[in-house]
Amino acid sequence: MDAAAVASELAQLHARAGLAAPFTSRDPGFTPASGYVAARHLHARRLEAGWQPVGRKIGFTNRSIWPRYGVYEPIWGTVYDRTLTRATDNRATVPLAGLAQPRIEPEICFGLKAPPPRTRNPEALLGAIEWIAHSVEIVQCHHPEWKFTLADCTADNGLHGHLVLGTPVEVGRISGLAAALPFLKVALACDGEVRDRGVASVVLDSPLMALAHFIEVLADQPEAEPLRAGEIISTGTITDAHPVKAGETWSTDLHGFAVRGMEITFR
């Protein structure tokens, strides 16, 4: 399929929260690389419409959910000013209008103070990070019943819908952060009932290693924008993704260090 045509169809699907057959079901030759080309076309359309990029999301870093979705490697997409909500006192209200089959994902987010180096050394990565925060991403899928392949995900901006950013904490205020991150525990609840639990080590062994992997992916995509100071990087869900609907209030409870949970009401 032509990448520009895929981007045009995706733009229309996003405009009406519509569903369509996966691109790979219509063109078996549509590859993950083809999907990223389509995503760049979609990104260009958004820039022309006045959207401002504020960071990136990394998806499918949680190995435990790979078999469920049939996607066996991480993906990435762009976060924009129009898809970002900064929580106040770790509380936020998020509209679901315009999102297709939305699901919630509790994550860890980094704020960059410098372009991060290509390395697997956690301390070296922390040297490029200004703050850490809890984030909740609302992912979406424009294919019926969340059935897709890797290429469909790369085309659709990494399935990004919305990102809710919690209170940032300066990394210098958290001693032993690199060692503590894999052991961060999260409980995810809907209207007070716990629906899922997870530990951050499922995210490629640590959210810092998710960032390291993403840096390597970008190094192999010269057409993609390099990471810059000031960007927000959300590193992938610590639990499974759960469907959400208007009227529900979801909350997260974090244990491990200074970052705390959030409460999000959907309307």
d(CA 147, CA 161): 17
Q: Does domain 3-266 have CATH number 3.40.190.10?
A: no
Digitized pLDDT (tens) for each residue of the chain, 267 residues in all: 899 999 999 999 999 999 999 999 999 999 999 999 999 999 999 999 999 999 999 999 999 999 999 999 999 999 999 999 999 999 999 999 999 999 999 999 999 999 999 999 999 999 999 999 999 999 999 999 999 999 999 999 999 999 999 999 999 999 999 999 999 999 999 999 999 999 999 999 999 999 999 999 999 999 999 999 999 999 999 999 999 999 999 999 998 777 789 999 999
Helix (H, G, I), strand (E, B) or coil at 134: strand
Dihedral sign, Cα of residue 37, residue 38, residue 39, residue 40: positive
Residue 12 CA: distances (Å) to CA of 16, 182, 186, 227: 7, 39, 36, 28
pTM of the model: 0.97
Residue 176's region, left for phi above 0, alpha for psi from -120 to 50, else beta, is: left
pLDDT digits (tens, 9 = 90+) for 165-199: 999 999 999 999 999 999 999 999 999 999 999 99
Which is nearest to 212 in space by CA: 79, 36, 105, 58? 58
**Cα–Cα separations (whole angstroms), residue 200 to 66, 88, 147, 243, 255:** 16, 24, 26, 21, 11
pLDDT of residue 44: 97
- Residue spans of the domains in the chain: they are 3-266
Q: What is the pLDDT of residues 237-260, one digit of tens each?
A: 999 999 999 999 999 999 877 778
Q: What is the DSSP letter of 159?
A: G
Q: What separation in angstroms does the CA of 69 have from each of 73, 153, 180, 198, 219? A: 11, 11, 29, 18, 26
- Copy the structure tokens of residue 184: 């961060």
